[in-house]
Amino acid sequence: MINFSYSRAGSVAEAVGAKGKADGAGRFIAGGTNLVDLLKENVERPCAVIDISRLPLKTIEEAPDGGLRLGALATNADTAYHPEVQRRYPALSRAILAGASAQLRNMATNGGNLLQRTRCYYFYDVALPCNKRQPGSGCPAIKGQNRVCGVLGTSDDCIATHPSDMCIALAALEAAVRVSGPRGERTIPFAEFHTLPGHTPDIENTLAPDEIITAIDLPPSPYAGHSVYTKVRDRASYAFALVSVAALLDLDGDTIKSARVALGGVAHKPWRLPEAEALLTGKTATKENFLPVAQALFAGAHGYEHNFFKIELGKRAVVRALQLAARGTAAIKGVNGQTADA
Amino acid sequence: MSVLKSIFGQDVDTTSSTYLGKPTSRVDGPAKVTGGAKYAAEFNVPNLLYGYIVSSGAARGTIRSINAAEVEQVSGVVKVFTHDNAPKTAYLDRSHRDQIAPDSGSPFRPLYQAELEYSFQPVALVVADSFEAARYAASLVKVEYDLKPHETDLRANLGKAHPPTDTRAGYVSAPKKPRGTPDEAYAAAAHKVEAEYSQPIEFHLPMESYASTAAYGEDGKLTIYQKTQGVQNCQEYVCSVFGLSSGDVQVISPYMGGGFGSGLRPTYDIYLSVLAATALKRSVRVSMTRQQMFSFSHRPEAIQHLKLAAREDGMLDSVTHTAIEETSQNEEYLETVVNWSGLMYNCPNVRLDHQLVNLDLASPADMRAPGAVTGLYAYECAVDELAYQAKMDPLAFREKNYAEKDQNADKIFSSKELREAYRQAAARFGWKDRPLEPRSMKKGSDLIGWGMASGSWEAMQGKAAAKLVLTADGKLLASSATSDIGTGTYTVMTMIAAEFSGVAIEDVTFQLGDSSMVYSPVEGGSWTVSSVGSAVKTVCGELRARLFKLAGKVDGAPLGDATIEDLTFANGAMHVTGNPVRNVTYTEALRAGKLDRLELDTTELPQLAKQATHALYSHSSVFAEVSVDEDLGTIHVNRVVSAIAGGRILNPKTARSQIMGAIVWGISMALEEEGMLDDHVGRFMNHNYAEYHIPVAADIHDIEVIFVPEHDEVVNPLGAKGLGEIGMVGVAAAVTNAVWHATGKRVRSLPVTLDKLL
Ligand SMILES: Cc1cc2nc3c(=O)[nH]c(=O)nc-3n(C[C@H](O)[C@H](O)[C@H](O)COP(=O)(O)OP(=O)(O)OC[C@H]3O[C@@H](n4cnc5c(N)ncnc54)[C@H](O)[C@@H]3O)c2cc1C
Ligand code: SF4
């Protein structure tokens, strides 16, 4: 039998202590919807499993700056259906609801969602090499079945994507990740949380091995009236995004004061390009003005045998999402391409 | 999610039947929803050992070493079987061929040789005293290979295509010679289409994983609880492979969580459980993981080339259909793919060709409507293309070329109400309002398209037996060694037995899934109702005759001089028709004969003389509406209407479920399913339910099923044609034809995923 120790952390400090002691071979378990699958597939083989699911990090509360603080252990479902999230951060609510299934969202936590691992087929199949799972073993996806892989920010060592929907909205909202560790607490801006694969695809974020996520801070947002999450996938529900777009507009009449666009399904991290967003500042919200943003976002894209299409699809999805955002959050319920509910 | 609808009305049987034709709920429903129904991996026997299968990570090469001895040291492990130490089984290939195997192949033998045959094949079996120990130890098994190059890419190997050299029961090879002069007719025709269609490998993937619990008796006899579509096929196979006598092996399979053809042949879990049980003289269970469900059978990949032509007036004049499919290196998997194209519509000039390419993959296997689903997907799409060339409505084109006889065999149909199926489905769908031109209908950013197709499937009947036991309390037990793969066999056989025995349905029990029962073929090909059901009907007739004879001994001769024709058999009694007072109950009849039970069985054979002069087929007519997001390519199937001409409908409720499920599967084939093969490593990569897509509830909208009345006295004594397959045939073509009508794009490779529309 694979023996691992199981402990239930009574406090954040205890959790961090136990994790530090396990020295890289420990794993927190929250909802378990990703970790348990990976245990079953022999991809994850921790020697210590530290249950954090009962830590008091489940609240969703007002943040001091007027934003909202999402507890790391609040479930994806509780977060998506929270009235303040729905009212002030509708794209986040919709992104969460576009993911997984109702059952999974009831189990999945916000912290776990950030740290869920790629769905690259090779990562899951221990009979084959994979640089992310076994550094230096190779990347069969580059020449293999790479429909689910990325087209932006890939490297010669790994072309995997981060599969989260929630994180795409968080990136667009410029959330911050609050973490706690033996060196105290710190806050990581969302853009700096996930990393690109480079030569170390096994490293996916800037969280230290002995740190725990305690909360996600959402800053006040002027975008609630024009927020969209468009997810394009191979079936209507229960499928990861081929391409997804979180689009947020702050409009003055028809004129765009500021815009945010984040892409999912295309890179090892939620993909944003502030220069592309800046193209919209002061412009009117028309398709003609959205096209250059789409072009700019995918300017450096590189497709592989089975996912070239994501470049064209991604551009079209950006335009669609911005068009829908321009129409307003309230107007777009149920419109095709704005997949609100999974 | 919208509502699934069905209209009955026409399909309720109007003959004076008591049970047949009436919507009847599943008799096994309560057992299934309460957990009372036991599946193969749920039969617990004392001192059970657990086998965990280790699968190969490479497709081709030789196993150099396996660290079996090392793994055997792990606590709880009893034995690690590999090709090195597995007991020898029968030497001859013949001994490994089951009823469904091709006639002269070399069926795959697990743990037989160091040479690999395909990726994910079993290479070791770890047997331990707990499942957890076996599973853990299996993860420690290290297999070293001397790799050899493999070939898994059908397209890259088309040069190796060859006509089948093997045969198998039920396989109709393509006609050797063309009918008429297809090339000349094509050259001269006014309207032409030439196109290639391809479809990927698809997997059966029933919910229940394969499992085999081999209980080793004190007397050395084996009772095997097995997931299978054929208990007797498995029993014969085990006896033949392991040299056991038939009295020492019993195979039991009361329930099955879906089969779709994957369990027609014995699966490798039974081989491994019996191997371990006989070697260790212990009871052993072996079950497959979800991933391993991708490792032993599939619908073969197919690349099809079609050339069709019609005369100026829209008469079909030339058909050339070539299908190339993959098979394994060790067997030629044979399904009838192209013959349908010579059968569906009238055409004087036809050339049909079916070829195979051997690849380093597991043998394909029959999968729902095998062959027909593949061949008619391509053909029905090509017909749609041709109709458009001729500027004809695709339904009008089909009606114009309607086949009144099977031109392949030059026989008339025993019945064929396809015309009526077209009429009813089209009316229900509103087809008459369809614009001929594609891209004519829009709704918001969605393009709307309407497509249709038709389908056909053989109405087969095989030899089968049924047994009855009527006891003094008036209860009837009927049985046959068939299986219920989820289709409703328990229910329909109970209905047939009640109908023809005259025992009230509450007093009838039907049993199946035990190799010691009277003979039944495997459950597949939509032939169970026709084969086993006919046997049940016949033996019930014999029962009535016996009871009538016994009734003569009842005091006071209540039936007088009435003949059996004068009697009505119902509610556990016989009475003079029109005079219910003159009656004898079955209990009275048994008592008069001093019997506490009446036992009889019979074997029913197809009425070959009658059938041989006819072509026996069921038909379908399918209409679909899709909406396609013009920018993003996402496709929704808004509604499907399917009308089935499938003979007499015995249980409209389960019949409708069959057709609905088949339509969902057809949508799945059209838009979602694809075994993603990585040819570099020779392995399927999306081997789980998250990544191998089948429809979720949100993908399925309105589905309407219509059964058109069809009377048939030739097909079998019940007049029922079987409904397991026909519902799926034509659906993928109807959906893809609708996608074309919406977008103007002909996507000729399945599945039609959104990237193909960008
Ligand atoms: C079939 C399936 C389909 C899915 N589809 C989608 C989809 O379409 N879109 C989508 O976005 N997601 C999808 N998911 C993924 C799902 O959203 C994640 O599994 C879930 O969010 C993970 O949360 P969890 O709490 O269960 O994490 P766990 O499995 O408990 O943990 C995941 C990882 O995070 C670590 N961790 C958890 N919490 C913390 C913390 N507070 N601090 C530090 N480390 C932590 C764990 O150690 C572990 O490594 C799907 C999952 C499945 C199984
Ligand atoms: S893309 Fe990354 S995760 Fe996938 S096989 Fe390559 S290294 Fe592994």
- The token duo for A198 is 């480079």
Residue A235 sits at the chain B interface (C-beta within 8 Å): yes
What is the distance in angstroms between the Cα of A39 and the nearest Cα belonging to chain B? 11
Which atom of ligand 1 is nearest the CA belonging to A72? 41
With a cut of 60, say whether residue A342 has pLDDT above it.
no
Q: What is the pLDDT of residues B77-103, one digit of tens each?
A: 999 999 999 999 999 999 999 999 999
In the beta sheet, which residues pair with residue B617? Answer: B458
* Separation CA A229–CA A86 (nearest Å): 13
Of residues B287, B297, B302, the one with CA closest to residue B264: B297
- The token duo for B107 is 């069926």
Ligand 2 proximity of A131 Cβ (cutoff 6 Å): yes
* Separation CA B439–CA B437 (nearest Å): 7
**Mean pLDDT score of chain A, rounded to an integer?**
95
Positive or negative, the CA dihedral B354, B392, B621, B413 is negative
With a cut of 60, say whether residue B11 has pLDDT above it.
no
How close is the Cα of A113 to the center of ligand 1, in Å? 4
Inter-chain touch A337–B634, beta carbons under 8 Å: yes
CATH topology of domain A1-54: 3.30.43
Which atom of ligand 1 is nearest the CA belonging to A240? 8
* Separation CA B147–CA B60 (nearest Å): 6
CATH topology of domain A227-337: Enolase-like; domain 1 (3.30.390)
What is the distance in angstroms between the Cα of A125 and the nearest Cα belonging to chain B? 8
Ligand 1 proximity of A212 Cβ (cutoff 6 Å): yes
- pLDDT band at residue A259, thresholds of 50, 70 and 90? very high
* Separation CA B263–CA B265 (nearest Å): 5
The arithmetic mean of pLDDT across residues B337-354, rounded, is 98
**What is the pLDDT, as a whole number, of residue A331?**
81
* Separation CA A132–CA B526 (nearest Å): 48
* Separation CA B656–CA B654 (nearest Å): 5
- pLDDT band at residue A338, thresholds of 50, 70 and 90? very low
How close is the Cα of A38 to the center of ligand 2, in Å? 15
**Mean pLDDT score of chain B, rounded to an integer?**
96
* Separation CA B154–CA B160 (nearest Å): 9
Who has greater pLDDT, B191 or B1? B191
Of residues B288, B362, B370, the one with CA closest to residue B688: B288
Residue A330 sits at the chain B interface (C-beta within 8 Å): no
Residues in A touching B445 (Cβ below 8 Å): 336-337
Distance of CA B223 to the CA centre of its chain: 26
User: Number of H helices and number of E strands within chain B?
Assistant: 16, 30
CA-nearest residue to A128 within chain B is: B57
Q: Which is it for strands B61-66 and B143-147: parallel, antiparallel or unpaired?
A: antiparallel
- Residues of B identified as active-site: 725
Residue A119 sits at the chain B interface (C-beta within 8 Å): yes
**Ligand lying closest to the C-alpha of residue A122:** 2
Residues in A touching B696 (Cβ below 8 Å): 235-239
Q: What is the DSSP letter of B756?
A: G
With a cut of 90, say whether residue A334 has pLDDT above it.
no
Of residues B461, B500, B493, the one with CA closest to residue B478: B493
- The token duo for B143 is 């297999």
**What is the pLDDT, as a whole number, of residue B15?**
53
Outline where B623-674 has alpha helix (H): 652-671
Residue with tokens 């001769």: B557
Cα-based distances in Å from B130 to B225, B280, B284: 18, 15, 11
Structural domain spans, chain A: 1-54, 227-337
Q: What is the DSSP letter of B179?
A: B
Q: What is the DSSP letter of A218?
A: E
**What is the pLDDT, as a whole number, of residue A24?**
87
How close is the Cα of A199 to the center of ligand 2, in Å? 12
Positive or negative, the CA dihedral B694, B697, B698, B700 is positive
**Residues B462-605, CATH architecture:** 2-Layer Sandwich (3.30)
In the beta sheet, which residues pair with residue A264? Answer: A244
Of residues B725, B339, B665, the one with CA closest to residue B525: B725
Residues in B touching A151 (Cβ below 8 Å): none
Question: Counting Cβ atoms within 10 Å, is residue B656 exposed (0-12), middle (13-18) or buried (19+)?
Answer: buried
How close is the Cα of A141 to the center of ligand 2, in Å? 6
Residue with tokens 């037989």: B112
Residues in B touching A148 (Cβ below 8 Å): 691
pTM for the structure as a whole: 0.96
ipTM of the complex in this document: 0.96
- pLDDT band at residue B9, thresholds of 50, 70 and 90? very low
Q: Which is it for strands A184-189 and A176-181: parallel, antiparallel or unpaired?
A: antiparallel
Residue A124 sits at the chain B interface (C-beta within 8 Å): yes
Vertex B627, ends B621 and B632: CA angle to 5°? 140
**Lowest mean pLDDT: which of A301-310, B8-17, B36-45, B553-562?**
B8-17
How close is the Cα of A161 to the center of ligand 2, in Å? 9
Query: Which SS3 state, helix, strand or coil, does residue A237 take?
Result: coil
* Separation CA B665–CA B672 (nearest Å): 10
The arithmetic mean of pLDDT across residues B648-671, rounded, is 97
Ligand 1 proximity of A264 Cβ (cutoff 6 Å): no
Query: Which CATH number is correct for B407-459+608-758, 1.10.1050.10, 3.30.365.10, 3.40.50.11540, 1.10.10.60?
Result: 3.30.365.10
The arithmetic mean of pLDDT across residues B51-77, rounded, is 98
- Give the count of beta carbons closer than 10 Å to the beta carbon of residue B98: 18
Q: What is the pLDDT of residues B442-473, one digit of tens each?
A: 998 899 999 999 999 999 999 999 999 999 99
The arithmetic mean of pLDDT across residues B26-45, rounded, is 96
Distance of CA A267 to the CA centre of its chain: 10
Element housing A84 (H / E) = helix A83-88
Q: What is the pLDDT of residues B213-255, one digit of tens each?
A: 999 999 999 999 999 999 999 999 999 999 999 999 999 999 9
Ligand 2 proximity of A121 Cβ (cutoff 6 Å): no
**Lowest mean pLDDT: which of A90-104, A321-335, B501-515, B608-622?**
A321-335
Residue B632 has its nearest CB partner, among A2, A232, A236, at: A232
Residues in B touching A320 (Cβ below 8 Å): 631-632
Inter-chain touch A335–B758, beta carbons under 8 Å: no
B567-570 sheet: strands from edge to edge? B567-570, B573-576, B579-585
Inter-chain touch B758–A312, beta carbons under 8 Å: yes
- pLDDT band at residue B16, thresholds of 50, 70 and 90? confident
Of residues A240, A214, A42, A231, the one with CA closest to residue A124: A42
* Separation CA B317–CA B311 (nearest Å): 6
- The token duo for B528 is 């169970």
Outline where B213-349 has alpha helix (H): 231-242, 268-280
Do residues B56 and B143 touch, judged by C-beta distance below 8 A?
A: yes
Structural domain spans, chain B: 407-459+608-758, 462-605
Of residues B711, B665, B704, the one with CA closest to residue B420: B711
The upper half-sphere exposure of residue B690, i.e. CA atoms within 13 Å in the direction of its Cβ, equals 16
Positive or negative, the CA dihedral B154, B157, B159, B165 is negative
- Give the count of beta carbons closer than 10 Å to the beta carbon of residue B289: 19
- pLDDT band at residue B646, thresholds of 50, 70 and 90? very high
User: Atom 5, ligand 1: which residue's CA is nearest?
Assistant: A100
DSSP sequence for B660-691: HHHHHHHHHHHHT----EETTTTEES--STTT
Do residues B378 and B323 touch, judged by C-beta distance below 8 A?
A: yes
Ligand 1 proximity of A67 Cβ (cutoff 6 Å): no
Q: At what angle do helices B489-501 and B534-551 cross, to 10 degrees?
A: 30
- The token duo for B340 is 């349908």
Backbone angles phi, psi at B559, to 5 degrees: -90, -5
**Ligand lying closest to the C-alpha of residue A105:** 1
**Ligand lying closest to the C-alpha of residue A143:** 2
**What is the pLDDT, as a whole number, of residue A333?**
63
The arithmetic mean of pLDDT across residues A196-200, rounded, is 98
Q: Please tell me whether the peptide bond between B164 and the residue prior to it is cis, using omega within 30 degrees of 0.
A: no
A/B interface, count of CB pairs below 8 Å: 99
* Separation CA B489–CA B517 (nearest Å): 15
Do residues B453 and B372 touch, judged by C-beta distance below 8 A?
A: no
Q: What is the pLDDT of residues A293-330, one digit of tens each?
A: 999 999 999 999 999 999 999 999 999 999 999 999 98
* Separation CA A256–CA B298 (nearest Å): 54
**What is the pLDDT, as a whole number, of residue A1?**
72
What is the distance in angstroms between the Cα of B688 and the nearest Cα belonging to chain A? 10
Question: Counting Cβ atoms within 10 Å, is residue B581 exposed (0-12), middle (13-18) or buried (19+)?
Answer: exposed
Residue with tokens 């998506």: A80
Which atom of ligand 2 is nearest the CA belonging to A130? 8
